[in-house]
Amino acid sequence: MTGPKSRSLFDEAQRLLPGGVSSPVRAFRAVGGAPFFTERAAGARLFDADGNSYIDYVGSWGPMILGHAHPAVVAAIAETAARGSSFGTPSYLEVELARRVIARFPSIEMVRFVSSGTEATMSAVRLARGATGRDLIVKFDGCYHGHVDALLVRAGSGPATFGIPGTPGVPESVTRQTLTLPFNDLAAARDAFTRHEGKIAAVIVEPIPGNMGVVPPGAGFLEGLREITSSAGALLIFDEVISGFRASPGGAQALFGIRPDLTCLGKILGGGLPVGAYGGRRDLMERISPLGPVYQAGTLSGNPLAMAAGIATLDQLAKPGFYESLDRAAEALAAGLEAGARAEGVAVRVNRAGSLLTLFFAADPVTDFASASRSDTQRFARYHGAMLERGVFLPPSQFEAWFVSAAHAESEIEETVRASREALAAAVRS
């Protein structure tokens, strides 16, 4: 699968970078083989060092909702770069992007820009603890909130089990303040608040999880979390780093009609450049330094290049019919994948939420991390390799979201559907 130039680059990279990569999933360990090295990208396609072209459903893990190298975004970055790449002072670009974020998310009255989704969730949790004077945080199995020590925990053995570290280097004393619960299980959430009455600072949740694969929330789940946290004097944090600006112009919270106390954003917000943000009620955000005692800072926060790229991206998303067209493309892809699997007699589940989707090699519905974990990962690995051979790049893990962009034309969706059926026949059914 991997051409000689990519293989040579990977061999050298493994001597210089841990695992040869700057982020673990890029190493293809979950699907086997070696990664290709990208030289350039345009629209819905990546082009590797060996001259191969791939229809891309990774989209830099979400931000490329317009497709790669969109002219408006490229122009905004170039124009801004000519005036300087980092100032260390405020710039009008922060004000412009903040205005756009607040206009789209009614729950956000003030926003603070940071440089990554991990920074956003870390800062929101710190703010929640500072505002409530409580220590415990509730998260859900399979929801990923970045590599924050307190949130990088695996599930316990039952509802409201205290988390244990998901990696060496994270002290158990840190994760002891984190409760992990099954996603889509309101009874477990109610039980946790009963057992730890007056001690829980916040619930943090991906309203549409994308890191156990796409798993939409069940009917009433998010509404129930809003009611539980409000009654207990705890905060509700929506981690919309993936779903923000993708599920709808106002994220998953607009789609489901839920108003969280704090929201974490990233990915699309920077138009492909490193960025994150957290925001929420004015009374909470005014607790952040320099107005309040909760400290958070960042040298590159509000970086002008990222702000300019974000402004250009959000302005494109605001064009009439954008989301309707994007949804039609994702719907056509999901329907085609399902039809191809039926024709080949292969049991799959395709979960979709807007332009996010995942094909699970599972016979039963996938509604939480436990059911996602029962998927056949070996079959997915073979399928991934067969799709790559046919010029389609999927996330190299069963437990990730596929991202459809506005650059995926009907012809590319049809090509993907044909490739999928061939891949199922050649590499999976056997």
Cβ contact 418:336 at 8 Å = no
**Residue 200's beta-bridge partner residues?**
136
The b-or-e profile of 127-149 (16+ CB within 10 A means b, else e) is bbbbbbebebbbbbbbbbbbbbb
d(CA 234, CA 220): 19
Q: How many helices (H) and strands (E) does the chain have?
A: 14, 17
Mean local confidence (pLDDT), 301-309:
97
Q: What is the tens place of the pLDDT at every residue in 26-50?
A: 999 989 989 999 999 999 999 999 9
Mean local confidence (pLDDT), 104-131:
97
C-alpha distances (whole Å) from 185 to each of 62, 68, 128, 208, 253 are 27, 38, 23, 14, 19
**53, amino acid identity:** S
| Ranges 19-33, 151-165, 269-283, 357-371: which has the least confidence | 151-165
pLDDT at 171: 83
Cβ contact 403:329 at 8 Å = no
Reported as a pLDDT band with limits 50, 70 and 90, residue 165 is low
User: Active-site positions?
Assistant: 144, 239, 267
d(CA 100, CA 155): 37
pLDDT at 150: 83
Q: Name the residue with tokens 């607790």.
A: 287
Cβ contact 108:101 at 8 Å = yes
Does the pLDDT of residue 224 top 90, yes or no?
A: yes
Name all contacts of 223-232 with Cβ < 8 Å and 24+ positions apart.
Answer: 223/256, 223/258, 224/186, 224/189, 225/186, 225/189, 226/258, 226/259, 226/260, 228/186, 228/189, 228/190, 228/193, 228/203, 229/202, 229/203, 229/261, 232/193, 232/197, 232/198, 232/200
- Give the CB-side neighbour count of residue 63, counting CA atoms within 13 A: 24
pLDDT at 121: 97
Average pLDDT score, the chain: 94
The pairing of beta strand 136-140 with beta strand 200-205: parallel
Q: What is the tens place of the pLDDT at every residue in 403-416?
A: 999 999 999 999 99
**DSSP label of 288:** B
pLDDT at 174: 84
Mean local confidence (pLDDT), 329-339:
98
Domains of the chain and CATH, by start: 4-69+321-428 (3.90.1150.10), 71-317 (3.40.640.10)
pLDDT at 186: 97
Cβ contact 151:177 at 8 Å = no
Q: What is the tens place of the pLDDT at every residue in 347-356?
A: 999 999 999 9
Mean local confidence (pLDDT), 273-284:
98
Does the pLDDT of residue 161 top 60, yes or no?
A: no
Does the pLDDT of residue 89 top 90, yes or no?
A: yes
Mean local confidence (pLDDT), 19-23:
93
| Ranges 94-103, 157-166, 190-199, 241-250: which has the least confidence | 157-166
Report if pTM > 0.85. yes
pLDDT at 426: 86
Reported as a pLDDT band with limits 50, 70 and 90, residue 164 is low
Q: What is the tens place of the pLDDT at every residue in 181-217?
A: 999 999 999 999 999 999 999 999 999 999 999 999 9
Percentage above 90 pLDDT, the chain: 89
pLDDT at 166: 67
Nearest to 134 by CA among 234, 205, 12: 234
Cβ contact 264:238 at 8 Å = yes
